[in-house]
Amino acid sequence: MTQTEDLLRRLAPQVLGALVRRYGHFDTAEDAVQEALLTAVTRWPAEGVPDNPRGWLITVAARRLTDLLRAEQARQRREETVARRLPPEGWTAPPADQPPTGYDDTLVLLFLCGHPALSAASQIALTLRAVGGLTSVEIARAFLVPEATMTRRISRAKRTIRDSGVPFGLPPAAQRAERLGSVLHVLYLIFNEGYASTAGPALFRADLCAEAIRLTRLLHRLLPDDPEVTGLLALMLLTDARRSARTGLDGTLIPMAEQDRSRWDADQIAEGLGLVAEALPRGGIGPYRIQAAIAALHDEAPSAEQTDWPQIVALYHLLLTLTDNPMVALNHAAAVAMAHGPAAGLDLVDKLGTDSRLADDHRWYAVRAHLLEQAGERAAARAAYEVAADRAMSLPQQRYLRTRAARLDAVPPDEAR
């Protein structure tokens, strides 16, 4: 990211917040801010960054908003709207100089974009555009959908927010915790989308992981005392730190036990560990905090064998009291195998086999195959890897599972029995 871009992306939510606070019209204001950002992208590198970039952007965006609203009003008059709409309060005479309330506004925007009336896909798209300052084209590329589809999705989301009539402000205190939960979930999904995509032949995707981390960092600055916000930021940093060690040249996945740990990002790990240390003693439990603590134990360990598996098992156990997600249960089983031996892990995995949500999932077979391999059951492991490969949809995953199966072919089963 260039310096100008960096500055613009940081200012985007502040400018939008200032505009909506002053004039209302969230949907039109959002368009106006995008246009102001584009103007800045073309003019600042040539003419230099203005002394007060935030004020410059607000002025340009406000002017553009005025034009857009006038055009809209003219259209409405042409459509013979009987009542002549008055410009919104304060529109004709904006306060000369408002103190920057940027940070509060960013928080309000995050809550607005996580509005419960929106689908998860819309929440994500709108958050990236209104708070992240990404263009619709960039967001479309990142999610591999046609630009027209993304533009429509964003317009619909903005209309929904406009029609819902929510005032521009923080949600009432009673709803705030729940709404914060959905904001965190949106950020988590953005991160996951980026992280999952690093496996395949990942083409031209904007770096969603970096964007998710940037936005969560922003949220953490606004709510430094919320342990779940801290936990989510730590989880992202500690997970992303392992990214470059996670795939081989041909895009195949490398399991954590076999990753070259010298390729993990030490700075990111240090920052993540600091955040975990900050979040955990605050008392209470939350899913992001617990997952961050698990990631921290992995990142601290010099090897898979020297990992504190009993502690990881305990944390998964705690996580299972908060969620009945079968993938968490599967991870728990894998950790139990590391702590107490493959037989104990296999027992748990086999029990999960009756869960209909995992019935056809290649991941259940893959974990089972790994544990059978650990137990020295080479033939059964090989068969399980093949079944997992047949059920996997993604090509790199299939390739990984077939390679594991083939490895069991290569060495004759000997002293294992």
- Interface residues with other proteins (CB under 8 A) are 141, 144-149, 201, 203-204, 248-252, 389-390, 393-395, 398-399, 402-403, 406
Q: Whole-number minimum distance, CB 107 to other proteins, in Å?
A: 34
Cβ-count burial of 332 within 10 angstroms (0-12 exposed, 13-18 middle, 19+ buried)?
buried
Q: What is the closest distance, in whole angstroms, from the C-beta atom of residue 259 to other proteins in the complex?
A: 17
- State the nearest-atom distance from the C-beta of 133 to other proteins, in Å: 20
* CA separation for the pair 35, 60 (Å, rounded): 9
Closest approach of Cβ 246 to other proteins, in Å?
15
The partner residues of 247 in beta bridges, in order of sequence, read 253
Query: CA 42 to CA 38: how far, in whole Å?
Result: 6
Give min distance, CB of 359 to other proteins, in A: 15
> Which is nearer to other proteins, 201 or 302 (by Cβ)?
201
- CA gap 241, 279 in Å, rounded: 19
Nearest residue (CB) to other proteins, 282 versus 399: 399
Assess contact for 272 and 292: CB atoms under 8 A. yes
Beta strands, E only, 115-205: none
Q: Which is nearer to other proteins, 277 or 395 (CB)?
A: 395
Which CB sits closer to other proteins, 113 or 401? 401
Token pair belonging to 30: 């959002």
Which contiguous run of DSSP H or E holds residue 221? Answer: helix 208-222
Q: Which is nearer to other proteins, 163 or 390 (CB)?
A: 390
Q: Measured at the alpha carbon of residue 69, what is the angle toward residues 132 and 107, in degrees to the nearest 5?
A: 30
Give per-residue burial for 277-300: e unless 16+ CB within 10 Å, then b: ebbbeeeebbbbbbbbbbbbbbbe
Minimum Å gap between C-beta 357 and other proteins is 19
Query: What's at 184, amino acid-wise?
Result: L
Measured from the CB atom, the residue of 125 and 233 that comes closer to other proteins is 125
Give the Cα separation of 238 and 259 in Å (integer): 15
Closer CB to other proteins, residue 204 or residue 356? 204
What SS3 class is residue 89?
A: coil
Closer residue to other proteins in complex, CB, 93/203: 203
Helix or strand or coil: residue 122?
helix
CB of 116 to other proteins, least distance (A): 26
Smallest gap from Cβ 397 to other proteins, in A, equals 9
Residue among 180, 160, 302 at smallest CA distance from 230:
180
